[in-house]
Amino acid sequence: MSARPAPLTQVRIDDAFWTPRIQQVREVMLPHMLAQFGSVGHLEALSGTWSRKGSPHIFWDSDIGKWIEAASNVLATGPDAALAAQIEELVDLLEGAQQPDGYLNSFFTTTAPELRFTDLRDSHELYCAGHLIEGAVAHAQATGRERLLGIVIRYVDLIGRTFGPDEGQIRGYDGHQEIELALVKLWRHTGEHRFLDLARFFVDERGAEPSFFDLEVAARGGPGHFGLGFPGTKTELETNHEYFQSHAPIRQQTAVVGHAVRAMYFLSAVADLALADRDESLAAANRELWETVTSRRMYVTGGLGSSAENEGFTSDFDLPNLTSYAETCAAIGLVLWAERNARLDLDSGYFDIAERALYNSVLAGVSADGSDFFYDNPLASDGSRVRSSWFGVACCPPNLARLLTSLGGFVYSVGNADTDGVEVITVNLLVGSSLRFESGGANVELRLRSELPWEGRASFEVRIEGADALEFELRLRVPDWADELQISAGAAPVPFELRGGHAIIRRPFSDGDRFEVHVPFAARLERADPRVEAAAGRVAIVRGPLVYAAEATDNVHPLDDVPVPMTSPLEAHDGRVHPSGPVTILTADLDADTTLTLVPYFSWGNRAPGEMRVWLPVSTSSSARRTR
């Protein structure tokens, strides 16, 4: 079966948990970011009127692209004249900044136009291009307008003439992957195979010998934009090809290494190409890398990257808590990769990981009021970690915005059965929403109501216009945290087939059909692999898709002195008032006078600063479930 994310124009999110967060993107995050673009200098650089000290930042165009993508995702769900006008103003700036040959990069055009495409390792030219491509595709899909799409296609055609295996072309790739997956999106939207061919070239060329980055340094005669290392790091970029995942061709790589965000974007493109080309060698390498990172190098929150030194991976089972990096963008990248893998292998287990990252490491990246952000997401804090309103490198805020506003494309996948072409709808996440689609001349709306993440109850209703009944296949992911799965219509159980981690219902559906889904869960204790030294003798508390944390503001004693009790069960208290909205907290009595209180990890850091711990000490007699 071929599957694709449901178009955002066909999905409406209507969910007590997620709808306020998506509205917050529109009402708080997008205006906040646009104001930052004006005050920090993004818009001035793009307008060609730069007059400030120093030079623009090399990443800034990518922030613009992500903002346009997020805003376009909002437009996909309904009209918003003010937001549409703001996008058009940015398109005006991009159109004005584009050079006669199609080149579009505010940093090089403003600072050193003669040096373009000479520092691919450090200067993020193609990374910025990738985010502009994604923004343009999202805008065209949401509005039907193609002015921005035309601008980026002119740029992509220049890139296609410049890079490739032929004589006179640059046989290289960008230091920060992103354009690869963006080109696949552009191919899917336009059907133009030259974009897919270019994506394939960039993926296959990375890691070939001799090293492109070594040749580039030699040709340039000196270090690139960041010298021998990024500010604040000790990474020696001249010799560390693992940092860029360029140490070996993709089919020869056996571990996910280097910078975590780059790795996730790269592997998302690898999965894209395995799908597009039906390339089993690429798919096999992709599966092996997925297994190594999720079983050996991932935090219980779905966070990735154990070291700030390289913003990425170190060695297997090296997962410190207080100094963990776990960049928000890396967790977002993991969600992107997982979604593609789920379509590649039709296995629900990928969305178990995506859901864990989404509800925990991703959501922790933004404050309850939507105005402050974590760049990195530690699993422990001494009280000094607080969110910031902006960063010198501000990749995470617009990345959060574009992911949250594209949630509908993760909730549902759509496709057709290979045997008879029957419509197949896969529900990856139990998020309150509706999906509209057409099949057999009939218009169908699938309505989903959900009580997650607080309770394991959901319901479906089918509405059909233009037919008395319609056969289609509904696949419901069975979450790994569910104690069981029950599907019923009234008092009668609904039969289903269990395959690939999905409960599959294939039958003729009638207008008004309703059924309920019950996936009960309770708080549970998870142990890390014993090789994770930082979690030795400790447990994490998980309830449904949520990881929980202890904060000093709720607890009397130092958190490392608070053992999780095994004789007293964790009790859930629903609807407790919190800056993050009504939340379910967990409590357990330590003794007659002391109670341990836990809050969802995503909500930490929104009250008085203080200690925080995810992994808590436990008595040796405890019984806990091993985590991934």
Token pair recorded at residue 339: 């979604």
Domain count, the chain: 3
Instruction: Identify the CATH number of the domain in which residue 255 sits.
Output: 1.50.10
Task: Specify if 167 maps to a domain.
Answer: yes
Domain enclosing residue 602, as ranges = 524-626
Domain identity same for 419 and 392: no
Task: Specify if 292 maps to a domain.
Answer: yes
Task: Specify if 4 maps to a domain.
Answer: no
- Find out whether 399 and 68 touch, Cβ atoms under 8 Å: no
Give me the mean pLDDT over the 568-595 stretch.
Answer: 91
Domain boundary among the residues 518, 533, 564 is at 518
Task: List helix spans (H) across 300-327.
Answer: none
Domain identity same for 487 and 531: no
Task: Specify if 6 maps to a domain.
Answer: no
Domain identity same for 74 and 206: yes
- Torsion 546-547-551-556 (CA) sign: positive
Type of residue found at 281: S
Render 22-65 in DSSP notation, one character per residue.
HHHIIIIIHHHHHHHHHHHTHHHHHHT---SSS---TTHHHHHH
Find all residues with CB under 8 Å of 152, minimum gap 6, and list them. 104, 129, 132, 133, 136, 186
Task: Specify if 3 maps to a domain.
Answer: no
Task: Specify if 264 maps to a domain.
Answer: yes
pLDDT confidence band for 236 (50 / 70 / 90): low
Radius of gyration over every alpha carbon of the chain, rounded to an integer in angstroms: 24
pLDDT reported for residue 589? 87
Task: Specify if 157 maps to a domain.
Answer: yes
d(CA 600, CA 622): 22
d(CA 224, CA 174): 13
Residue closest to 283 by CA, chosen among 272, 297, 294: 272
pLDDT confidence band for 400 (50 / 70 / 90): very high
- Tell me, what DSSP letter sits at residue 142? H
Give tens-digit pLDDT for 247-288. Answer: 999 999 999 999 999 999 999 999 999 999 999 999 999 999
pLDDT > 60? residue 530: yes
pLDDT reported for residue 227? 74
Domain identity same for 392 and 417: no
pLDDT reported for residue 625? 55
Give tens-digit pLDDT for 103-138. Answer: 999 999 999 999 999 999 999 999 999 999 999 999
The vertex-457 CA angle with 434 and 624, nearest 5°, equals 130
pLDDT confidence band for 222 (50 / 70 / 90): confident
Domain identity same for 401 and 414: no
Give percent of the chain above pLDDT 90.
89
pLDDT reported for residue 118? 96
What is the chain's mean pLDDT, rounded?
Answer: 94
Domain boundary among the residues 363, 381, 406 is at 406
pLDDT confidence band for 232 (50 / 70 / 90): very low
Domain identity same for 110 and 31: yes
- Find out whether 409 and 3 touch, Cβ atoms under 8 Å: no
pLDDT reported for residue 226? 80
pLDDT > 50? residue 166: yes
pLDDT > 60? residue 238: no
Domain boundary among the residues 498, 518, 538 is at 518
Token pair recorded at residue 537: 């003798």
pLDDT > 60? residue 207: yes
> Is 366 strand, coil or helix?
strand
Give me the mean pLDDT over the 354-366 stretch.
Answer: 98
Give me the mean pLDDT over the 195-199 stretch.
Answer: 98
Domain identity same for 426 and 504: yes
- Find out whether 572 and 524 touch, Cβ atoms under 8 Å: no
Instruction: Identify the CATH number of the domain in which residue 422 sits.
Output: 2.60.40
Domain identity same for 210 and 329: yes
Domain identity same for 394 and 471: no
pLDDT reported for residue 337? 98
Look up the pTM and report it: 0.96
| Partners of 83 in the β-ladder | none
d(CA 86, CA 544): 39
Render 462-498 in DSSP notation, one character per residue.
EEEESSSEEEEEEEEE--TT-S--EEEETTEEPP-EE
Residue closest to 39 by CA, chosen among 388, 375, 389, 400: 389
Domain identity same for 531 and 588: yes
The vertex-491 CA angle with 486 and 493, nearest 5°, equals 40
Domain identity same for 475 and 554: no
Task: List helix spans (H) across 543-583.
Answer: none
Domain identity same for 568 and 492: no
Task: Specify if 377 maps to a domain.
Answer: yes
